[in-house]
Structure 1
Amino acid sequence: MSYGDNNSAISNFGPQHTISVPIVRFREFLADTQQIGRGVVIGQPGADQTLETNKQTLIAEFVQRQRFTTAFPTTLTAAQFVDNLFLNAGVVPTATDRDAAINEFGGPMSPTTDIGARGRALRRVAENSTLNQQEFNRAFVLAQFFGYLRRNPNDTPDSDYSGYEFWLTKLNQFNGNFVNAEMVKSFLVSGEYIQRFGP
């Protein structure tokens, strides 16, 4: 979300063409989700607070990563920082959502050197309801590759994003109903998934 999409991914689902896919990669995703889930036991007292603390820790670390600071230098004003985040997310924010993210810094012309404010603004964009609705199916398909196959959609045995596009198209045809699309079932019975557990 922070860095936009990979708009030059190749798919051969139909005639060869390029598609837009999430830029996040499996190893990066795995490390971040492990950090978020560390010590969280759902149903146990304090799980919600542990999860929230982990999210805050990750976001504070994330906004200090070189990749992030290169994409969003501290020379940006608060308005520029927030507008670029929403632009990369592909979301046109409401005035209220935009102002709330900008106000984490104090105002539109405020500097963006405050790590805490950078994290809070990023989180406001990442947790935006429009972004969630817009990205849910794409993220769900990506999560199947990450979770069941433990790889990126274009890693071997695939060589492009045809499989990703196939499942995204099917999920969209079923209006996001993964049960009716038989998506999870198909990943669970795939030879690639089964071979993860033995010959």
Structure 2
Amino acid sequence: INSCDALALCRVKRIDTSAAFFLSIEFQETGYLVYRLYKAAYGDLAVDVPFPVRRDPFIPDTRTIGSGVVVGPAGWEQVLENNKQSFVGNFVTLTRFTNAHPATTTAAQFVDTLFANAGVIPSSTDRQAAIDEFGMVGTSADSAARARALRRVAENSSLKAQEFNKAFVLMQYFGYLQRNPDDAPDNNLAGYNFWLSKLNQFNGDFRQAEMVKAFITSSEYRSRFGPP
């Protein structure tokens, strides 16, 4: 950014640098995974709220999975994998999760519910692979198997593609504005829905949609750093 020598070029670099945080391997494997875990576990927050998690749980959960992860140095993949296993292992023991997914359900019922929450129709291979995490037992009570099955659903390629733009827009609010899309001053999802529609219109091209640009030049974002 400091090396750009024209105002227009500087704007483009600022936009690309900002977008790079969401598009980075690190965020895709931490924050975006958290988003998809909530989606598979619980579905969207409501019929008229088309995302699965709010900022308050999202931020600390993302920090937990990303703890100590620096992409590049030797061994970073194992640090990330250890964090994922630990986080998801704990996630499936939380009261909210066990209330939503009783241990008395069969493995097939458990997996089918996760895919239904995710809004994904899995291939027979993907569905069976998740069910097979439970072995030959009759129920889905095994917490370790639950964690592995949940990860299989959350890491499903169809789910990743399906939710990508929704998560991209949501992160603009979580990151730049440090709030939920329907918090004040909006108090509704009109802004979120507008930017999601525009990003979809341009097939995910954030430059053409001018989405990132709009957030980093917004008065709400800039006011965080003092009077303009």
- TM-score normalised by length of structure 1: 0.91
Question: Is the counterpart of residue 143 in structure 1 residue 171 in structure 2?
Answer: yes
Gaps (5+ residues) in structure 1? 10-19
Q: CA shift at 1:104, angstroms?
A: 0.2
96-105 vs 40-49, greater mean Cα deviation: 40-49
Q: Which residue type is aligned with residue 3 of structure 1?
A: Y
Between the two proteins, the alignment pairs up a number of residues equal to 188
Identify the residue that residue 3 of structure 1 maps to in structure 2: 42
Q: Decide which structure has greater strand share.
A: 1
What is the Cα deviation at residue 110 of structure 1?
2.7
- Please, what is the CA RMSD of the aligned residues? 1.2
> Which residue pairs with 1:86 in the alignment?
115
Q: Among residues 197, 201, 219, which one is paired with 1:173 in the alignment?
A: 201
State the alpha-carbon separation in 2 of the partners of residues 151 and 145 from structure 1.
6
Higher helix share: 2
The separation in 1 between residues aligned to 2:77 and 2:219, in whole angstroms, is 37
Aligned residue type for 1:6:
L
Structure 2: how far apart are the matches of 1:45 and 1:191? 42
In structure 1, C-alpha distance between the alignment counterparts of 2:63 and 2:46, rounded to whole Å: 28
Shift of 1:197: 2.0
Matched position secondary structure for 2:206 = coil
1:157 shift after superposition = 0.9
In the other structure, the counterpart of 2:224 is 196
1:27 corresponds to: 56
CA drift at 1:181: 0.8
**Paired residue for 1:39?**
68
* Structure 1 counterpart of 2:141, from 113, 119, 126: 113
Which of 190, 199, 220 is the equivalent residue of 1:162? 190
Partner residue, 1:51: 80
Give the C-alpha shift of residue 62 in structure 1: 0.6
Identical amino acids, percent of aligned pairs = 59
Q: Give the match for residue 74 of structure 1.
A: 103
Q: Deviation string for 1:70-125 (max 9, x for gaps)?
A: 10110111000000000111111100000000000014x63212111100000000
Residue 134 (str. 1) matches residue 162 (str. 2):
yes
The Cα shift of 1:6 comes to 3.1
1:63 counterpart residue number: 92
My pick for the range that moved more, 174-183 or 78-87, is 174-183
Report the Cα distance in structure 1 between the residues aligned to 2:219 and 2:86, rounded to whole angstroms. Answer: 38
How far is 1:5 from its partner? 1.4
Q: Structure 1 stretches (4+) deviating beyond 2 angstroms?
A: 6-9
- The DSSP-based 3-state class of the residue aligned with 1:22 is coil
Establish whether residue 182 from structure 1 lines up as the match of residue 221 from structure 2.
no
Residue 102 of structure 1 aligns to a residue whose secondary structure is helix
Q: Residue in 2 aligned with 1:15?
A: none
User: Under a length normalisation based on structure 2, what TM-score does the superposition of the two structures give?
Assistant: 0.79
Which amino acid counterpart does residue 197 of structure 1 have in structure 2? F
